[in-house]
Chain A
Amino acid sequence: MESLIYPQKISIAFSNNILSLYMKAKSSQDNQVLFDLSKTKSITPFGIILLTSSIRECHVAGKECLYNQPIDPSAQRLFKDIGFNKHFSLDSSGTVPPVEIRTGTVQLRQVTDIDPLVIEGLIEILVYHMNLSPGVKGSLQMSLIETMTNIVDHSGQNTYYVCCRLNKQKKVILLCIADLGIGILSSLRKSPKYTHIRNDHAAIIESTKEGVSSRPGRAGLGLKNIVDFLKINKGQLCILSGNGKVFWKFNRGEMLKQTMPQSFKGTVIKMAINADKEGFYFLLGEKDYIF
């Protein structure tokens, strides 16, 4: 039996370790894989999705998955609240709604095609925890639809994962969307326009630009609008695809590139959105003026 011992904190800050566990789960020759989370104390939407993807890879390969739940009671509660237990039918005690606006939670969800419930849930969470004008709300809604359309159109998979959670202490909404498809580089290379792109980092950066799409005649707006919003919000964006990881820390004006030792075939998009209610978001020309 292959034993995978997960660390105390499962987040994008430890992506090397989490991806290494993902690869071990995927490539294990054993028929049984133990996901040992007994030491885990906290997990982010990114962590939940990577863990879930690892379990999914095992299931697809016909392996039996065993699970040691966290010992820490607050971590146990978190796994329940974020929808992990429900996703794998690990307990039947009580029902947690799939979208909880006040806690800023969209439970871990495997989505097929464009799911209006998820998009509406995400938008309602943003509107509740931030000051967004109707124009910005509409723009973000369109961007999320576009991002999800891109996943369905380009990843080679029509299912993907979504998870969102508000970190109350830091007043940050953490949102993660991931697919286990072909990755951004392979997707862009399908179009002759992008055959010059040589590596994952370049492909990730290209995917955030306006008008980038491998669909003929259609210009992508999804990530461009999201990047513009996160710049103003001084939030963060991290995209992981293939061997590339690009991390935009808009609060510090930094863009960090990291080459992952393990390749992740799909794409993970992780956002950290500041939700301190002190910001106010509007589109130019959208407002009435009395002064």
Chain B
Amino acid sequence: MGALMNIDLKEFYHKRTITRDDGKIIADLILEKWKTENKITIDFSNILIASVSFMDEAFGKLAFEFSLKELQNKLSFVNIEQYDRALLNDILISRYRQKEVGENGKSSRDKKKIIRPKQ
């Protein structure tokens, strides 16, 4: 098991807009490394993303897969702008609330989208 993994979002910053599809790439990367890494650090490089779609796809939907404790233990967000931090937290809190009341939880569409890494 690896100790730490760093996902640097800078590679996406050359584009003018960051989309939901970009968020999916990050989510897939996190899921791929979930079992093999102790800690996954997402480095925002102090560049403002400010995209609800990206944040939701990249991190928000992880709420349907893992408990809050699991997310807090595994993920770490560094060099994140205050705005993005508030956005991230708001999305995660909304998704956990949704999960709690059973709204839009794991739909069959969501299941199809997420490919689990081989054990």
Which residues of A are in contact with B by a Cβ distance under 8 Å?
A: 131, 133, 277-280, 282, 284, 287-291
Contacts and interface: CB of A to CB of B under 8 A. Distances in A.
Given A278-B51, A279-B50, A291 B86 contact: no
A290 B68 contact: yes
Contacts of A282: 86, 90
Contacts of A279: 50, 52
B40 interface: no
A136 B53 CA distance: 20
Nearest to A288: B93
B31 interface: no
A280 B50 contact: yes
A287 B90 contact: yes
Nearest to B83: A280
Instruction: Determine chain A's interface SS by DSSP, over half rule.
Output: loop
Contacts, number: 39
B93 A290 contact: yes
Interface string B16-59: 00000000000000000000000000000000001111000000
B77 interface: yes
A262 to B, nearest CB: 40
Interface centre among A131, A133, A277 (most CB of B within 10 A): A131
Given A278-B50, A279-B50, A291 B90 contact: no
Contact of B89 (A131, A278, A289): A289
Interface of B: 50-53, 68, 71-72, 75, 77, 82-83, 85-90, 92-93
A290 B90 contact: no
Nearest to B88: A291
B72 A291 contact: yes
A285 to B, nearest CB: 10
A290 B72 contact: yes
A282 B75 CA distance: 24
A133 B94 CA distance: 12
A166 to B, nearest CB: 18
A16 B87 CA distance: 42
B53 A278 contact: yes
Given A290-B68, A291-B92, A280 B86 contact: yes
Contacts of A277: 52
Nearest to B42: A291
Contacts of A131: 52
Given A277-B52, A284-B82, A290-B72, 10 more contacts: A131-B52, A278-B50, A278-B51, A278-B53, A280-B52, A280-B83, A280-B86, A280-B90, A290-B93, A291-B92
A289 B85 contact: yes
